[in-house]
């Protein structure tokens, strides 16, 4: 299920992603999740049924895909914080894929009379940045790239990607990547798995730069050109919705006939205070108010990240439907009023 080329008759297909996994999971477990060195990945071990139900929430809300609960999962992290062997840790990453597949099976059974074969939801393997497992805040600015070799990052990522691929994900999400070196390494590492595709999304510190400071558009284009055969989209996630349009505007101006497919799944815009948690929700515009503007800019994959719930996914999907209806109206009007007619 990937966006197809626009044929002039029908609007482009838009893929609706899920929302913030830990945010929705908190509705089921009643635990404080933020601040844990494993974040929501701990619940693969302690609350697997709640993980399944969280995936189900997003599918019922209208998501076209679900992303595995593995953003902060790693073999070393599970060994250190769950007292597992490396083999058990590897199996737990694979288990995350099985839990997502269970949710998809339950959803397909619930809605078997309404789902067409070409609309079966995808299971996407989450691959968060190296800095996330350090649990020192460096994932937010990419500063670990200044002291960590590319080879160290590669060897850390390889077993978790291998586990996701072995477990049968449909796609990989190389997400919340804050620095150019890691992004380029992941695009190269992806070649070791020639039968899998991925999207690549960056965390950004403002409306021009990724978190480590490099120019978003330059890095995004370089990564796309490094592996266009396996990347399905490039974009941003876990950033403020208000920053997205400026990050994306003009990125495809020099490629009008072969635009890079864009992906966006921002946070709610709230700020995280380590002492008291999430703040300033009342100061944030809802993600859905930006959706049609982003689609006009060429975004073809859209969803939510931190602090977005299943209810937000429903509202995002509604905005996608509204945009497609507007697209049809505008293009039919233009066709009817063109000089040829």
> Which residues are part of a known binding site?
238, 305-306
- Gap between the Cα atoms of 99 and 122, Å rounded: 13
- Gap between the Cα atoms of 131 and 273, Å rounded: 19
Buried b (16+ CB within 10 A) or exposed e, 193-217: beebbbbbbbbbbebebbbbebebb
DSSP for 43-97 reads HHHH-HHHHHHHHHHHHHHT-SEEE-S-TT--HHHHHHHH---HHHHHHHHHHHH
Residue 227 in 3-state DSSP?
coil
Three-state SS for 292-312 is: HHHHHCCEEEECCCCCCCHHH
Pick out the residues of the known binding site for Zn(2+): 238, 305-306
Q: Which two tokens stand for residue 128?
A: 């968060």
Asked whether 220 and 260 are in contact (CB, 8 A), the reply is yes
Asked whether 34 and 272 are in contact (CB, 8 A), the reply is yes
- Gap between the Cα atoms of 294 and 102, Å rounded: 32
- Gap between the Cα atoms of 269 and 283, Å rounded: 8
């Amino acid at each position: 299920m990937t966006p197809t080329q626009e044929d002039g008759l029908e609007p482009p297909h838009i893929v609706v992603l899920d929302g913030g996994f830990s945010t929705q999971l908190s509705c089921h477990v009643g635990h404080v999740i933020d601040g844990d060195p494993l974040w929501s990945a701990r619940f693969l071990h302690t609350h697997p049924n709640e993980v399944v139900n969280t995936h189900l929430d997003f599918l019922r809300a209208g998501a076209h895909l679900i992303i595995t609960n593995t953003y902060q999962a790693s073999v070393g992290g599970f060994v250190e914080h769950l007292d597992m062997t490396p083999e058990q840790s590897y199996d737990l990453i694979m288990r995350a894929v099985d839990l997502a597949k269970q949710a998809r099976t339950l959803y397909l059974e619930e809605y078997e009379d309404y789902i067409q074969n070409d609309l079966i939801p995808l299971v996407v393997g989450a691959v968060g940045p190296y800095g996330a497992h350090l649990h020192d805040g460096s994932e937010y600015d990419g500063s670990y790239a200044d002291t960590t070799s590319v080879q160290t990052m590669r060897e850390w990522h390889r077993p978790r990607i291998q586990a996701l691929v072995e477990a049968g994900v449909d796609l990989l999400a190389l997400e919340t990547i804050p620095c150019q070196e890691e992004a380029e390494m992941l695009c190269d590492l992806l070649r070791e798995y020639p039968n899998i595709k991925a999207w690549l999304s960056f965390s950004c510190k403002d409306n021009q730069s990724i978190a480590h400071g490099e120019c978003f558009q330059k890095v995004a284009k370089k990564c796309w050109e490094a592996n266009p055969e396996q990347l399905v989209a490039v974009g941003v996630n876990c950033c403020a919705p208000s920053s997205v349009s400026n990050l994306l505007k003009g990125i495809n101006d020099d490629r009008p006939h072969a635009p890079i497919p864009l992906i966006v799944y921002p946070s709610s815009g709230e700020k995280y205070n380590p002492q008291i948690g999430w703040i300033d929700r009342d100061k944030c515009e809802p993600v859905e108010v930006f959706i049609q503007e982003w689609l006009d800019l060429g975004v073809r994959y859209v969803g939510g990240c931190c602090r977005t719930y299943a209810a937000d996914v429903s509202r995002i999907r509604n905005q996608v439907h509204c945009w497609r209806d507007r697209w049809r109206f505008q293009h039919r009007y233009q066709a009817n009023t063109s000089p040829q007619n």
